[in-house]
Structure 1
Amino acid sequence: MTIDRSTTSAPAVAAAPADLSPSERHVIFLYLGTLIILLAFGSPSGGLIDIPISFFLKNRLHLTAHEVATFRLAASIPLYLSFAFGFIRDMWSPLRMRDRGFMLLFGGVTASLYVLCAFTAMTYAMLLVAVVTLTASFLFVSSAQNGLTSVIGQQHAMTGQVSAVWNVFLSIPTVGALLIGGKLSGLLEEKDPDQALRILFLVGAAIMAVIALYSLWKPAEVFDNVRVENAAGRHPIADMKRLVRHWPIYPAMLIWLLWNFAPGSNTPLQYHLQNTLHATDAQWGEWNAIFAASFIPTYIVYGLLCRRFALKKLLWWGTVFAVPQMVPLLFIETTTQALVAAVPIGLMGGLATGAYLDLIIRSCPRGLQGTTLMMSWSLYYVVSRFGDVLGTHLFDRYGGFTVCVIAITIVYALILPALLLVPKHLIATADGQTPDFTLGAPEPESDAVK
């Protein structure tokens, strides 16, 4: 099998779709943003639930760091297979309600599973089974949100704006979970173990029940402006072949891989701040919260720039700003300086993250948006785990965080040549102009795996 990446003289842009009114866009963004926030708080692997579970494992079950890491590795198995849940979303319409059907059905199922877990005595094995089962059920709802969001972005030529909104609304619960999750864990420490987990799981059940009820709302601005792309009589194997032959996803996923690999940005950084700079647990949480919050301003800037500049320019600008992102950590000597440095470090990464998600949405083959977006999350969890392992090895071997900063910078720099692999017609337009094959025209044969 050979991959032909030759270019053609075909026009890069087809007639732009009818522009949505500002009020319609606002309703769409509000609907998607609310859903993203609810899902982030209800996720078994999200900070609100995950952080108290990690403290439960450490403080109540008295697991070592290695044992907690092993638990996380096993509990993340459904996350590694996220693409499969996306593919099911693209193939199936539960209750004949499409994405709302997934939200209603599996939002209710996940809420019920949370309730069941709440009244089950939790051993190590039972907690592992609970998290794996909850995560698998939750991913059906997540795939619906991912698929719906990317379809709206493609069909209305606003992939950049959708990327910005997605990242902003995802950052809000991320910051909130880092701040609330630790406090919730502290409150649960006052309870006996079974009662503590019961409260935690009931909180998760309530959030997922709200998501199930949320699916009953069907705003016309959102769903009347979505065209059905899944033709009747589709064959799963044929769609899988079409996905494999779709060249644009390969450079997009490669860039996403390099961006999220970041060897040393998690565990080694924590050990550097806490062991070398003597940061407390609370200060480590504050660093992560500041870091996550600092992305938001550049996400907003990206949402404004994407309507004025072609994605090609934003990809290059974002990457150039992002390559030295971790370099400020080489010059910090105190915890206070580290907290201050978290601000520019976060700001330097926002433009790149917005552009890379924009690229992934544009790269989705028609009718397989859920599969492609969930594939990106599968890749995220796999490469971030391996990046953390490599970073930890470098940190231990060379006795410091400097080598991790060097490794991260080199990996980020590799994104620059990877940008040359992206099909030119895919990134030649700004929001409001759509590349040919996302409008429904046949995908360029030159961009296929032959």
Structure 2
Amino acid sequence: METPLTPMEYTIATLRKCVFLAGLDESVLAVMASKIEPLLIEAGNTIVTKGETGLTMYIIIAGVAKVHDDGVTLATLKSGDVFGEMAVLDSEVRSASVTTECESLLLCISRDVFYDALSTEPGAFKAVIHSVLQGKRGLISEIKARSLRLLSYQKEMEIGRRIQADFLPKSVPDLEGWEIASCFEAARDVAGDFYDVFRLTSSPHLAIVIGDVCDKGVGAALFMTLFRSLIRASSLYGCIGSTLVDAGSETAANSAEGVLMNSMHTTNRYIATTHAGSSMFASVFFGLLDTQTGEMSYVNAGHEAPIIFRKNGKTEMLAITGGVAGLFPAANFEVETTTLNKGDLIFTYSDGVNEAKNTAGHQFGEERILKAATPDGDDVESFLCSMLNAIHRFRGEADQSDDITMLALKYLELDEAG
């Protein structure tokens, strides 16, 4: 039967397990052990606070603690782990905080106890320095490995960004009597917002699409490409001949409605059934504009209401006509119609505009959108530029929290079209 360790022997054995102290002679560890006692810490106590000057290192005998900074957990420490060891070597402030996750038993070694013990053996300092350097070499190797993984990840993200960019229009159609401009500013390398502007074949109708996939990052970016592709493909190829009847026909409006309904229902059913497990959805505004008459049929599936700035100074909001796309296979979408007159401008945008936040946490909001709008400016490019500048000024030093996507289209008057 093994003889149980005395408290002193147990403390020495615990110190011996610490890589930081592994090179020290038994006599040095004995001196150190004679001057320290285990300390029981309750759960939720912060032992080390970031920014404070450290004088003590700790070894966990039993329990769990987390290393954290600004709400982010950097590491989880368990029995045998050491933290705060650099405090006994220099007088630098703590670089992170450490808090117990449960009741924990620790050994606490102050700088004075540490140096007093080392002074009893001439080779002790050299042994500690050797252990520190070994640890730093291992850390450097780990940093190099992580850096290589990060570079690989960044390369993959850049490839993803380029691929995603190919799914957005490289240019917008040039139509006589109309001005069209777009603005896209991603909050991350890959985005969840999307937009599209394209002509339907053999008809005067122009498709205007803007959407925002829930969530952010790679997942949202993948679904962004899917939503955009489904809407375009079903609009161009989902109906007979992918065309509308002649604009002068009495059934032209019904045909526009048919394209909208077919495209939205096809896209919605595909996402909601094929990718039901992902619970991904998108808000979408989809309009079909007759460029000869200015009449626009549209579906607003849970998206921010586009604003029409009328030539007479009035504004009109194109309200929601249905829920978001992609959640429920049987979702219903209604088609509404409005008419743009010469001199009118329609502005569509994603929630990265109205929900842009400044450092105080306040949102840009609809009121600021209306104040920043310059519908009587030189052109739609200037309109979007003024809006984006206003958002940037409002946000100040705050980080961009969401993608910013904007589309503007103006029905030119004769002198403007000239």
Per the normalisation by structure 2, the TM-score is: 0.23
Q: 1 or 2 for the larger relative contact order (CA 8 Å, sep ≥6)?
A: 1
> Which structure has the bigger radius of gyration?
2
Instruction: Indicate the structure with greater strand content.
Output: 2
